Homo-oligomer: A and B are copies of this chain.
Amino acid sequence: MNQNLDPNLLKGNLDLILLTILEEGEMYGLEIIQEAQIRTNGYFDFKEGSLYPALHRLTQAGLLTSEFRESDLGGPRRKYYTLTEKGQHSLSKKRNDWKQFSSAIDQLKGAK
């Protein structure tokens, strides 16, 4: 992740984050890391050791498909990941779970 933040916050949410980013179109590994940084002003800064196993896990689960393609700038080929329909459904569910969880946390304080 990032600087001095609790890395456990990410647990269970990395999948949501990756699916969210890929919702707008196919992307390859390092590009996803860059996108996450850009969209959150550097807050999310995944390491490759977090990203690739997660992408493989999601692909294994049928939420993503992948395809190698040559780089337009030279350099090694890139593996592009695309959201499947099943992935889209899973994203909706995860988004919903997150909302519920998030509001439950907010309810804790102030309640009673």
Q: Which residues of A contact B (CB under 8 A)?
A: 5-13, 16-17, 20-21, 23-24, 35-36, 38-41, 43-44, 94, 97-98, 100-102, 104-105, 107-109, 111-112
Contacts and interface: CB of A to CB of B under 8 A. Distances in A.
A105 B109 contact: no
Contacts of A100: 5, 43
Contacts of A104: 40, 43-44
A105 B43 CA distance: 10
B40 A6 contact: no
A42 to B, nearest CB: 10
Contacts of A5: 97, 100-101
B105 A17 contact: yes
